[in-house]
Amino acid sequence: MRLALAESERAALSGDVPVGAVVLDADGTLLAAGHNERELTGDPTGHAEVLAIRRAAEQLGGWRLTGCTLVVTLEPCTMCAGAITQSRVDRVVYGARDEKAGAAGSLWDVVRDRRLNHRPEVIAGVLERECATALTDFFRDR
């Protein structure tokens, strides 16, 4: 989670909401990282999770991220939850809950919906205070 927090700091530098994500392989080796880049690139899909997943797939040479763990500072939204499910990530670890748009247990639970063919394990609240503080500070300063 500390690697994801470091990524979130990069997002804030470009005026993006400070969310960071990393993808680890089954051995815990870093495959890819990403941070929000919507403001930087003008891309509405430029969420940390989507970018980290894309980069991990590129690194592995295929779209299936079986055995991988996605670590992200903020609970994924519905778009990111869809990307997580489609990429076959085995585990999602997140820090701060997102009561307004969270799709991994807060507002929705897309990633564990029994109607879907893939449901990753979800671990919530890792370094939650640090992750939430980064977001609160960012929005307070705006």
What are the catalytic residues?
49
Phi, psi of 117 (to 5 degrees): -80, -10
Residue at 28: amino acid letter: G
Distance separating alpha carbons of residues 126 and 27, to the nearest angstrom? 19
**In this structure, how many other beta carbons lie within 10 angstroms of the beta carbon of residue 44?**
8
Yes or no: say if 71 and 80 are a contact pair by the CB < 8 Å rule: no
Looking up tokens 């205070």, which residue turns up?
129
**Do 8 and 51 touch, CB atoms closer than 8 A?**
no
